[in-house]
Structure 1
Amino acid sequence: MSAAEERRSDALLLAGIAAVFAIAHVLTNGRYGFHRDELQFLSDARHLDWGFVAYPPLTPFIERVSLSLFGVSLVGLRLASVIGQAIVIFVSGLMARDLGGNRLAQVASAITVGLSGLPIFEATEFQYTTFSYLWWVLVCWFVIRLLKSENPRWWIAIGAAIGLCLMTKYSTVFFVAGLLAGLALTRARRWFLSPWFYAGVGVALLLFLPNIVWLARHDFISYTFLQHIHARDVGEGRAEGYWKYQFLLDANLFATPVWIAGLIAFARSSRYRVLAWMYAVPVLVFWVNKGRFYYVAEAYPALIAMGCAAAEGWLARRPTWAQRTVATAYFTCVAAMGAFLLAILVPIAPDGRLRDFALKNNSDLREEFGWDDMNRAIAAARDSLTPEQRASFGILTGNYGEAGAIENLGGAYQLPPPISLTNSFYLRSYPQQQPSTLIVVGWSQRQVDREFTGCRVAGHNGNTLGIHNEESDDHPDIYVCGPPKKGWPEFWRTNQRFG
């Protein structure tokens, strides 16, 4: 077999591995319901703009395409996430190949990434982190291709991937800082003199420019949002376990020696040392600033690829029996950990013990239940109104999940568009015809009594399966109230929410 034929054969094998993971997710992604974050993306997809309060515009745009193709379908709308994860798995194997790994290293890299916690999770829901993960893995691969080939045209691909990443998640700037630090602190600094480097910078900025304009026109509201969310996460302890979950979820636990070996190999390589800085800078910045563990998950596939290539080289100098023993032990342990993670993160079973195990250990899956029950309860509260009240009523929600559920799923109950003060709903849902009666969900008794007139409990929020989640535990009551005590303009001005 020629070298070219062998490369094609290896690529087909990697594509097959990625396809197996993709099929598994497609078969299970329709089990439960939408996560609250997905409902927000769906709503933003119906109101496309060059920016949104909580994130840049690319993810809602992707969802708009999926919505046009599949309608409001769990499997259809999550298909883009599945494809993104499959590409990550495939590219992880290609990175191992470009770093000198043969078939064993390529397969080990692809399977290890596919059986790591964050890549598994990113294919189970439609999240902007799914696509930022994909873009940054592509950046890492393109940087490897640049450093290996010395072909400056790779800067165009790098710039395009960075631009897409910036249009997906703002914290990409910390990963870019790692890339720039790696260039400045290694012999790769010579690229600063290349016009192709600045062409890549231009491509990235051109792609990001529409969102920069949107941010400027909206007083950089997303910066205020990020400050609020960071303070909330630190205050609620969500930033705890930063290092622990790097090992448990950002990469497969049994791949720890591999990715550490990859980091060391990058650091020792005069050619590829940039990749070590691309990992170290964002990881340390987020640690110092109390970021959450998954903020740096996309840095691990490149480490795993390099570690697999290095491990394969180390094994090649050992006896055949030792090679087989180590490889068998590694794949067995990674598969066992992967199976455990799949049982927690993937909605494998519609009911029974396996479902109960997943719901007990995965709060995100618990949030996929109860939206239809909520809409039904709101519809019942509407039907309890007098004809005069129904002539001028609105539905006010407390969070973006409730607003998204009403806008995207409430049509089955003839519910009107929601009124919400959260994130980008705040910018577009101010009622032009101000209702005199409000059905309020997601607010506490104390909050509604402070803001509105004549409130009464008109129903209850929860789910028929008795699954405990944010809606059932934190927002159990639905109220019917009169208009805001301060009037609509003052009420809207003083109650903006971020979540």
Structure 2
Amino acid sequence: MTRANNLALVGIALAVAFVHLMTNGRYGFHRDEFQFLSDARHLDWGFVAYPPFTPFVERVGLQLFGVSLVGLRLFSVIAQAVAIVVTGLMARELGGGRLAQVTAALTVATSGLPVFEGTEFQYSSFDYLWWVLIAYFVIRLLKTENPRWWLAIGVFVGLGLMTKYTIVFFIAGIVGGMMLSPARRYFVSGWFWGGVAVALVIFAPNFLWQVKHGFISVHFLQHIHVRDVRQGRANGFVLDQFKICANLVAAPLWIAGVICFFRDRRYRMLGWMYVVPLALFAFGKGRGYYLAAAYPMLLAMGAVVGERWVASMKRPRRLAVEGLFFTGVVAWGVLAYAILVPLASDGPLRQFALKINGDMREEFGWDELVRTVAGIRDSLPAEQRSIVGVLTGNYGEQGAVEILGPAYHLPMPISMTNSAWLRGYPPVPPSTLIVVGFSRDAADRAFTSCRLAGHNGNSEGVKNEESQSHPDIFLCGSPRLPWPEFWKEYQNYG
């Protein structure tokens, strides 16, 4: 029975992975992926926008696959597949049979944020997995009352801190859950403090990097949060819990999961592990998807409760309820995949996805941008070509020129955004600049002698940030300020 259940869970995960592997090479890299690719070529114990784990994995991917969409995104696909299986295992640990395990795994496999995580190489893909694994080991801890599980929890808390700083909200949930439940007894356990020590040892290199750089990531996160609130990206937080974080049809399951965790004295800590970060994100105006990784544990418990509920029904009614539920779950999943996964290379389905999915639109035009920049460079007199530089306004443009530019013999781009700013400008700054990602007014304010040299767009006619917000490319002279002053003045977080 256990082997058959395992095969069912693995089968769901493999089916999802197959869909992603067949579609992940369809369009191009996302802007965020270019930042990871660039940072992967400059490994360090920290980066302005995030801790070092994700660029390190990307560096491994570059060594194995080169600049390959499918190859580099494989790690995200694996992370999503493992999260699906572990969710089913959580249902098993909570007392669920095959129906509960399959239900839990399937609802995660058809939820919006997990589906998205398999389509791009993002730090949130690994962050999601760490949250799920932490919840699984907490369940093992509470079920077995074996405090040695704190060491496993500490390992994945440490990896979470090395992946995405928002895991501190989940850590707050763990500590709060301990304080507000019978699990408080573990505060006097040496194994708990051993887990804390393991997490801190793993996180220590990044912490020391932050100290060395004046906690620059804190300033970055403050800036990004203010921007998100100003632009309304934090709006709709409650609605996002239903339509993005989990399969909408499965909402009764995760709601039941929350209730049952609180009603169960042994597992009450897990209820607080959801409610505490929920409250912190809601009052702190976090983005809706930040809490998505907390839902697998709720869906697992809800699936167990649902299994017991339908088991009490007569067969005709049970089959009707199960059929209606799974039809709804699959229907929502089909919609999620149609919007988030590049299922079609052209036609109405692609147009439908591009209309709704802004992230997908950001996968177009990068090759053409780099080719256009190379064409501008090649149009210059020979004496200018050797001294021209490429200066970019955002990390996507910078990463695209750095990763795709060598095919055109373009120089290393200059960028004032995030970790590229930390790396500085060339020892001998260029006197002629191809400027990408600036408006005409911004270019004229920052540089001398600017003229329009080309346009940024894509042959597919897809309207995205690059084609709409940064449509022009300029050829300019040196910055109006001396380079050291210019570099300090124009530091950018994005």
Q: What range is the shorter-chain TM-score in? A: over 0.9
Which residue in the other structure is 2:471 paired with?
Answer: 476
The separation in 1 between residues aligned to 2:339 and 2:12, in whole angstroms, is 21
The separation in 2 between residues aligned to 1:249 and 1:348, in whole angstroms, is 19
CA contact 1:88–1:137 (8 Å) conserved in 2:
yes
The farther-off stretch of 319-328 and 167-176 is 319-328
The separation in 2 between residues aligned to 1:83 and 1:429, in whole angstroms, is 35
Percent of aligned positions with the same letter in both sequences? 62
The separation in 1 between residues aligned to 2:292 and 2:132, in whole angstroms, is 10
User: Deviation of residue 429 (structure 1)?
Assistant: 3.8
- Amino acid aligned to 1:145: R
User: Deviation of residue 370 (structure 1)?
Assistant: 0.1
- Of the three residues 283, 287, 293, the one matched with 1:292 is 287
The separation in 2 between residues aligned to 1:392 and 1:408, in whole angstroms, is 20
The separation in 1 between residues aligned to 2:450 and 2:231, in whole angstroms, is 30
- Of the three residues 61, 66, 73, the one matched with 1:66 is 61
SS in 2 for 1:424: helix
Which residue in the other structure is 1:279 paired with?
Answer: 274
The separation in 2 between residues aligned to 1:331 and 1:366, in whole angstroms, is 31
SS in 2 for 1:439: strand
The separation in 1 between residues aligned to 2:344 and 2:256, in whole angstroms, is 37
Q: Deviation per CA, 1:112-138: give whole Å up to 9, x if none.
A: 100000000000000000000000100
Which residue in the other structure is 1:169 paired with?
Answer: 164
Q: Deviation per CA, 1:319-346: give whole Å up to 9, x if none.
A: 1112211111111000001000100000
SS in 1 for 2:397: helix
- Of the three residues 406, 419, 433, the one matched with 2:401 is 406
CA contact 1:179–1:277 (8 Å) conserved in 2:
yes
- Amino acid aligned to 1:431: P
The separation in 1 between residues aligned to 2:269 and 2:48, in whole angstroms, is 33
Q: Does 1:129 align with 2:124?
A: yes
Give the alignment of 1:73-112 within 5 angstroms.
Answer: 73-112=68-107
Q: Deviation per CA, 1:149-198: give whole Å up to 9, x if none.
A: 11111111000010000100111111100100100111111111111000
Structural RMSD (CA): 0.7
- Amino acid aligned to 1:243: V
Which residue in the other structure is 1:30 paired with?
Answer: 25
The separation in 1 between residues aligned to 2:400 and 2:386, in whole angstroms, is 23
The separation in 2 between residues aligned to 1:361 and 1:157, in whole angstroms, is 40
Unaligned runs of 5+ in 2: none
CA contact 1:418–1:429 (8 Å) conserved in 2:
no
Give the alignment of 1:344-355 within 5 angstroms.
Answer: 344-355=339-350
The separation in 2 between residues aligned to 1:419 and 1:386, in whole angstroms, is 21
User: Deviation of residue 485 (structure 1)?
Assistant: 1.1
User: Deviation of residue 384 (structure 1)?
Assistant: 1.9
Which residue in the other structure is 2:260 paired with?
Answer: 265
CA contact 1:279–1:299 (8 Å) conserved in 2:
yes
- Of the three residues 219, 224, 236, the one matched with 1:224 is 219
User: Deviation of residue 411 (structure 1)?
Assistant: 1.7
The separation in 1 between residues aligned to 2:309 and 2:326, in whole angstroms, is 17
Which residue in the other structure is 2:139 paired with?
Answer: 144
Q: Does 1:466 align with 2:427?
A: no
User: Deviation of residue 387 (structure 1)?
Assistant: 2.3
Which residue in the other structure is 1:308 paired with?
Answer: 303
- Of the three residues 321, 324, 328, the one matched with 2:323 is 328
The farther-off stretch of 360-369 and 6-15 is 6-15
SS in 2 for 1:168: coil
Give the alignment of 1:242-257 within 5 angstroms.
Answer: 242-257=237-252
Which residue in the other structure is 2:385 paired with?
Answer: 390
User: Deviation of residue 56 (structure 1)?
Assistant: 0.3
SS in 1 for 2:488: helix
Q: Deviation per CA, 1:233-253: give whole Å up to 9, x if none.
A: 000111111111110010000
Q: Deviation per CA, 1:74-103: give whole Å up to 9, x if none.
A: 000000000000000000100001011100
Q: Does 1:317 align with 2:312?
A: yes
Q: What is the total number of aligned residue pairs between the two structures?
A: 494
The separation in 1 between residues aligned to 2:376 and 2:424, in whole angstroms, is 21
Structure-2-length-normalised TM-score:
0.99
User: Deviation of residue 317 (structure 1)?
Assistant: 1.3
Q: Deviation per CA, 1:35-59: give whole Å up to 9, x if none.
A: 0000100000010000000000000
